[in-house]
Amino acid sequence: MRRPTYKRDYEKEQAPATGRRSHVVQTGETVYSISRRYGVSVSAIIRANNIRDVKDIKVGTRLVIPDEKVGSPASRRKRTPSAGKAKTWTPPATNVRFMWPLKSFRVTSGFGALKSRKHDGLDLAAPKGTPIMAAANGKVIFSGQGPSGYGKIVIVKHDTRTITVYAHNYKNLVREGQVVRRGDKIATVGRSGRADGYHLHFELRIDRKPVDPRRHLPKLR
């Protein structure tokens, strides 16, 4: 099975189809960040633009944004409270039942601030090759080389609102489109991407917003 990566043939770049949205890649942007901006899946952008390697997506490249949106930047702005009427943000809830993705581990970094930057998940230290399990039932929507720093990642969609991300993997054991059950082995612990040691970077996102996974996981003994 060919390992999925992001790459585009720039020699054959075509103009976006009439009536479809497009986006010009800016400095620091990745396919993953662009997909989050437009509410479109990474795989949809890959297919629409024949991308094979994220490292070859150059600044100034015009990407087609397919009509698979869940919400647009404009619609998100409309939902933003007006000045003077800001409300305290409440973490979204989910009915998905989660388990810890590793059987034995040590939490080395929590959710929130990490060395003056935002940390969107948990870092769970474990030996190289330790099995990583799906935290809940779902469908694999991406398995391959992730955005800068994440290394090899697996992304599992659990319902229309909820996904989990498993990053810095040594080896991915599932493919895009595969249905997985809670507890199925989907990858092994590694240190791919920007990682100081062998660990799993685990994220939980609800309505595209990163939330603290510990709010939805069983309490550690």
Domain coverage including residue 46: 10-73
Residue 66 pLDDT: 87
Where the chain has pLDDT below 50, the residues are 1-19, 69-86
CB 152 within 8 A of CB 4: no
Residue 77 pLDDT: 44
> Partners of 180 in the beta sheet?
138
Question: Residue holding tokens 């930047």?
Answer: 73
Among 53, 73, 93, the domain-final residue is: 73
The CATH number of residue 63's host domain is: 3.10.350.10
Among 26, 50, 73, the domain-final residue is: 73
CB 121 within 8 A of CB 215: no
How many structural domains is the chain composed of?
2
Degrees (nearest 5) of the Cα angle 173, 133, 141?
60
Whether 194 and 122 map to the same domain: the answer is: yes
Residue 186 pLDDT: 98
Residue 89 lies in a domain: no
Task: Name the 3-class secondary structure at 151.
Answer: coil
Residue 94 lies in a domain: no
Whether 146 and 208 map to the same domain: the answer is: yes
Whether 167 and 66 map to the same domain: the answer is: no
**109: which 2 tokens?**
């970094």
What's the residue count for the chain?
221
Residue 78 lies in a domain: no
Q: Is the dihedral of CA 132, 146, 121, 96 positive or negative?
A: negative
Whether 110 and 203 map to the same domain: the answer is: yes
